[in-house]
Amino acid sequence: CRPQDLAGLKVVVSAGPTREYLDPVRFISNPSSGKMGFAVAAEARARGAAVTLVRGPVALPDPAGTEVIRIETALELRDAVLAASESADLVVMTAAVADYRAAAPAGEKQAKVAGDVTVHLTPNPDILAELGRRKGRRILVGFAMETHAGVERAAAKAQRKNADFILLNYPTQSGTAFGGDENEVTLVRVDGSFAAWPRMAKREVARRLLDEALRLHRVVQEN
């Protein structure tokens, strides 16, 4: 039985990949399993929060007791997260948002042609940065995957997006990040301070993430 230390708080979590359709049957996506975000949603719920989980297409059952919104595209994710976040105390962006979408997705299945084809991609909106621009007293948490200079890049990212902290992971560590049940992350705060956590279950990462977010929430409330 967990302490109900998040009772009275509203938590919004995004999880999984987005799909960016080129035509009705083809899309660009990534291998995000959604496990990290689902763990955050379940842990927040177990600690008494009212949880909204905005989930991309992943093969996981909806966590009990949470409001679940299913999305496919980054634009759908954006609409759902921005609407749900208006009344939220804490927003955790674990979703692996595709950076680009087709500039003009075809309305019908495109026939195969001989030779190369060119697809015109346009950038997706940065949802975490949009949340940062309307932050209020909300605590904002992001994730980032970097291959090098991770702490510096994550701190710069937190500043640019106006997030309180970012959990950094590296795609090169086997069995962690995409798809695994464990994760090895470094907590990087917007002030550049950081703490490298040992490899642990994603649920334990979720527990520590929420501890840090709750600590910051209380600081904001006191000021």
Is 38 near ligand C5P (CB under 6 A)? no
Among 97, 168, 205, 209, binds ligand C5P (CB under 6 A): 97
> Do the annotations mark residue 165 as ligand-binding?
no
Is 77 in a helix, a strand, or coil?
helix
Backbone angles phi, psi at 194, to 5 degrees: -150, 160
Choice between 7 and 83, CB closer to ligand C5P: 83
Tell the smallest beta-carbon distance from residue 151 to ligand C5P (Å): 14
User: Residues 52 to 91: which contact ligand C5P by CB under 6 A?
Assistant: 74
Work out how close the CB of 134 gets to ligand C5P at its nearest, in angstroms, rounded to a whole number: 13
Comparing CB distances to ligand C5P, the nearer of 48 and 125 is 125
Q: Which residues contact 167 (CB under 8 A, 6 or more apart)?
A: 141, 142, 143, 144, 185, 186, 187, 188, 205, 209
* Angstrom distance (rounded) from CA 114 to CA 117: 9
Note whether 45 and 63 are within 8 A (CB): yes
CA-CA distance, 187 to 179, in Å (whole number)? 20
> Is residue 30 annotated as part of the catalytic site, yes or no?
yes
Active site residues: 30
Interface ranges with ligand C5P (CB under 6 A): 74, 93, 95, 97, 124, 126-128, 142-144, 157
